[in-house]
Structure 1
Amino acid sequence: MDSKFSHAVLKLLKTLNSVTIAEALERGCQPFYVDNRQFGLIRPDFFNHLREYENIFDVIGENKEDKINEKKPGVHLSSEYKTYSERTSAINSMLKDLREKNVIQALTGWRDENYRMSQRFTDDPVLEIERAGAGLFGFLQYGVHVNGYTREQNGDIWMWIARRSKTKQTFPDMYDNMCAGGLAANLGILECVKKECKEEASVSDEILGKLKFVGTISYFYEDERGLFPECQFVFDLVLPADFKPLNADGEVGSFQKCSVAEVKKLMTEENFKPNCAAVCLDFLIRHGHLNPDTDPNVSFYIEQLHSPLQTYYTR
């Protein structure tokens, strides 16, 4: 067993699964509800800012009279906002106000890109939220990731690894999958993944015809920006031997073609965006480069790559 690699992977998975619902509630995080259904979790630091917006949010459970209220204890979006557009407007107007006040670090990474919010991916969404604010509410977020690789005549696999631009709002100058991006509110999954491939690596329509959906990874982590339960839709893309990715949107600083051994080495150097390293880990397992005979932790890796997010807020 490669003990250095295994240690790095265990550390990575601990980072990606750094929080649970039970732990968050124990230290004072508040459930967030729309129509008395839980859609997220709010940390105490952000909760203190929400108190300024009593016309938008109702806090249930702090007063004795709340005991007769049918609403569950926690933070509720006001029932005055009944439609998708009304809820979206209320949430984003509040975030814009906080952004102007410059009191929330996460909002300095404003994207002008909305995410849809639902309990499960198959559910109708209840609102849209500016991407930079989704973690403040602990909303379930989705994205797409592409493993771009070539297979040599001798069977060896080489992966294209991106290095993020030094000006990216999040995780600047860190290693990344060849193409990846958040699932914006106005896009379907395949539409999103093709868009990211064209913008980040100039992949042609002909090559994109070989995209293969291979599953998902999911995890729940926390950082200074908030709480992040995330699910990534993962695709493999076999590339021609002479293909060279070319960035077209300024979000990638460079690309490098790596052997499996080189990818594993990069994953031990702590300069890999954590969820992107996890997508590479999933790739290595699926393609037989890790197995339980050579690394007895493989079954644990697989378990930790598939946190059951869609049950978190619906139990």
Structure 2
Amino acid sequence: MSLVITSLQAKVLRRSLSQVCQPVPTGLRPFKLGDLVLGYLHPMRDAVLSRCWPDLVLHEGAWVWRATDLDVDARSEQIGEAAQRLREVGAIQGWRDERFAGEAPVDDPCTPPGEPLFRLERAAFRFFGLMSRAVHINGFLPGARLVCGRRALSKATDPGRLDNLAAGGLTADESLVDCARRELQEEAGIPMALSHGLQARGALLSRRMEPEGLHHEVLHVFSLTMPSGFVPRNGDGEVSEFLTLDLESLCARLAAGDFSHDAAAVCAWGLLHADALSDLRP
């Protein structure tokens, strides 16, 4: 028997999905590499950006980085040094010593990614409004029950809110599957033998303004069906507890705003997207 979603539950799920990608707010300054728009910054950042990256040019309302003739490593060094100076004056916080890939823009970032242009500390991506990538895994138990983690109170973003079984940013030069398996092992104690059952379920775009800047991220969705009785265990301190939710409980928590924006959308995507329905047999 397939999962039955009521009209009210479907409305909650669709609302969670519709809210994940908001328009770029008006009034932001484009951040460009030559003619390529890579990100967006608030004009209130003009002064600190001028001090910390004097070679950046403000031209016709956009910050222009004249580094099209450099290779990936040289660009990475330039923008990395600027990010370090911004960190030293407190403009970038939550430094992780992990680098994401900055990509050339493509028509649909949820399809194959754009050409890598540089590598940059992940904490700097929101400051510059750059697009990043992340993996999110919906974990199912028999009976169409979704296993969700609660983010630890020590997390820099969305502390205490509900999340997917595991999720994490895609570091530069890491494959999506390797990232998903790593996050499953670190956050939920899923052994490699079990994570080989991962199923790719497409991708969706997340975009909104946050205090750190523009959050712009492609969420690559995976699903994993776990055996009955399996109990996930966090190993990196980023999850305080795990909850097993049936559809009714899940929708009630989504409606109450208990989930982070991205996790809510990924839950909804996993339940509404046609390719994921094979996971939802009671």
Taking structure 1 as the reference length, the TM-score comes to 0.77
Offset of 1:123 from its aligned partner?
A: 2.6
Q: Deviations over 1:288-308 (max 9, x none)?
A: 6xxxxxxxxxxxxxxxxxxxx
In structure 1, the partner of 2:149 is 162
Structure 1: how far apart are the matches of 2:164 and 2:113? 26
Aligned to 1:50: 49
Query: More deviation in 173-182 or 127-136?
Result: 127-136
Structure 2 residue aligned with 1:312: none
2: CA distance, partners of 1:98 / 1:229: 20
Structure number with bigger Rg: 1
Matches within 5 A, 1:102-113: 102=90, 104=91, 107-113=92-98
Any stretches of 5+ residues in structure 2 without a counterpart? 1-5, 107-111, 278-282
Aligned residues: 265
Measure, in 1, the Cα distance between the counterparts of 2:59 and 2:167: 39
What pairs with 1:51-90 in structure 2 (closer than 5 Å)?
Answer: 51-53=50-52, 55-61=54-60, 74-79=62-67, 82-90=70-78
Q: Deviations over 1:236-260 (max 9, x none)?
A: 1010002110111111111011111
Q: Secondary structure at the match of 1:240?
A: coil
1:139 aligns with 2:144: no
Q: For residues 256-295 of structure 1, what are the structure 2 equivalents within 5 Å?
A: 256-286=243-273
- In structure 1, the gaps of 5 or more residues are 62-72, 289-315
Once residues 101 and 220 of structure 1 are traced to their aligned partners in structure 2, the CA distance between those partners, rounded to angstroms, is 26
Find the aligned partners of 1:54 and 1:240 in 2 and give their Cα distance. 52
Q: What is the alpha-carbon distance in structure 1 between the residues aligned to residue 133 and residue 259 of structure 2? A: 19
Q: Please, what is the CA RMSD of the aligned residues?
A: 2.3
User: Deviations along 1:103-147, whole A, 9 cap, x unmatched?
Assistant: x2xx22211111101124533211112111101211111100101
Higher relative contact order (CA 8 A, sep 6+): 2
1:92 paired with 2:80, answer yes
TM-score, normalization by structure 2 = 0.86
Displacement after TM superposition at 1:14 (Å): 6.1
Deviation per CA, 1:155-211: give whole Å up to 9, x if none: x21111100111011111110000100111131111100100110011112211211
